[in-house]
Amino acid sequence: MKVLIIEDEKPAAKRLEKLIFIQSEQAEVLAKLDTVKSAIKWFNSNAQPDLVFMDIQLADGLSFEIFEHTKILAPIIFTTAYDEYALKAFKVNSVDYLLKPIDEADLYAAFEKLKRLRSVETKDDKDQTHSIEQITKVVKMLSRQYKNRFIIKIGEHIKAISINDILYFFSRDKATYCMTDEGKTYLLDYPVQELTNMLDPERFFQISRKHIVSLRAIEDIISFSNSRLKIFLKNSDNDDIIVSRERVQDFKHWLDI
């Protein structure tokens, strides 16, 4: 299997190459590229590889720009630190994605998916070619604007609260609030679940049905029963904030971004 790696972080490219060889001893890494420009040049000068691993954010732009300048027929596995929910709409039979840091089990599953795809009758070029329409759709999702401020009504007054001043969001008695650095609580018009689509996933993480936190808000994290975590937040007297077992791994990945 001839593999092309497009990744601008050398440690990540090296780790990925190691994991690829673990999955397939017969794998041959043709090249490791780190820019949109070098990838376009490579595809225009070489035969199609059997598989492409492609990071989304490269040194000179988004990797989706590559599709605008060259034709890629090989199956692609995207490697990305972006929120997985934003990418679900982009998943098609010939494309998969892995969230960083890449896990060996996830890479194994991606290779198994590739095997299943190859066992099916080859589709025509129209199906194999990744359309600009699909690419544009994902770029729009990935570059979407997140909330910078919330407008709060206090009596007859209107106040704008910057997202930079908010430590965390929480729900109580069927209402949603935000907590600021100054220790002030403000009532919001949005439920917690709706807030998750408004907030930058690199800055905020939903640790439970009732809490969305920023890294700045966390004072302490301790191991709790059943592989869960207990979180202590600034300006909070609630000592019963728990990260469920199902969210622990994602939460740890988020902390490590």
Q: What is the pLDDT of residue 200?
A: 85
Q: What is the pLDDT of residue 37?
A: 95
Q: What is the pLDDT of residue 85?
A: 43
Q: Which DSSP category does 68 fall into?
A: G
Phi, psi of 8 (to 5 degrees): -95, -5
Q: Exposed e or buried b for every residue in 210-231, given b needs 16+ CB within 10 A?
A: ebbbbeebbeeeeeeeeeebeb
Q: What is the pLDDT of residue 127?
A: 47
User: What is d(CA 254, CA 62) in angstroms, rounded to the nearest whole number?
Assistant: 21
Would you say the CATH fold of 149-255 matches that of 2-142? Answer: no
Q: What is the pLDDT of residue 238?
A: 85
Q: Which amino acid is at 236?
A: S
One pLDDT digit (tens) per residue for the chain, 257 residues: 899 999 998 888 999 999 999 988 889 999 999 999 999 999 999 999 999 998 888 888 888 888 888 888 888 888 876 655 445 545 433 456 677 778 788 888 888 877 776 665 444 444 444 445 555 555 555 555 678 899 998 888 899 999 999 999 999 988 999 999 999 999 998 999 889 888 888 889 999 889 999 999 999 999 888 788 999 999 998 888 999 888 898 898 888 75
Q: What is the pLDDT of residue 92?
A: 39
Which stretches within the chain are classed as H helix?
10-23, 36-43, 84-87, 104-119, 125-128, 132-142, 192-195, 245-255
Residue 42, token pair as written in the block: 């490579």
Instruction: Say whether pTM exceeds 0.75.
Output: no
Q: Which amino acid is at 180?
A: T
The domain limits of the chain are 2-142, 149-255
Q: What is the pLDDT of residue 48?
A: 92
Q: What is the pLDDT of residue 3?
A: 95
Are 107 and 123 spatial neighbours (Cβ–Cβ below 8 Å)? no
Q: Is 231 left (phi over 0), alpha (psi -120 to 50) or beta?
A: beta
CATH of domain 149-255: 2.40.50.40
Task: Name the class of domain 2-142.
Answer: alpha beta
